[in-house]
């Protein structure tokens, strides 16, 4: 639900309202859990796809440039960013691997 709040569109506002109202009804009556399941699947899909797309782009070799760039302000900012986050490729690999492990474990659990 956090990712829906971070980028407000009409569709995301609908998912937020649908999620909040469907959380209330199963709290009142347990057999209304069927109301909660579809929106939680949608929110989980949004969360997993956003996390994977954020971290997968740091693993992409296209972003690693091999040709020398002329010095500019962007080059300086890129160097500062690499100094601040020296292990972003490794962190991205760990996050993607962990999410993949969670998804595989979920599939085994469901079957």
pLDDT in tens, 36-60: 889 999 999 999 999 999 898 877 5
User: What is the structure's pLDDT at 74?
Assistant: 61
Residue 11 and residue 94: Cα distance in Å, rounded? 31
Residue ranges covered by each domain of the chain? 2-110
Q: Are 33 and 22 in contact (CB under 8 A)?
A: no
Share of the chain above pLDDT 90, in %: 41
pTM: 0.70
């Amino acid at each position: 639900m956090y990712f829906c709040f971070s980028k407000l569109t009409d569709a995301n506002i609908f998912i937020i309202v649908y999620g909040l109202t469907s959380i209330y009804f199963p709290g009142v009556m347990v057999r209304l859990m069927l109301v909660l399941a579809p929106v939680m699947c949608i929110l989980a899909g949004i969360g997993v796809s956003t996390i994977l797309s954020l971290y997968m782009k740091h693993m992409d070799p296209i972003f690693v440039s091999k040709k020398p760039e002329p010095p500019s302000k962007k080059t300086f900012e890129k160097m500062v960013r690499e100094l601040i986050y020296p292990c972003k490729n490794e962190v991205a690999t760990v996050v993607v691997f962990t999410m993949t492990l969670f998804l595989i474990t979920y599939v085994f659990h469901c079957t």
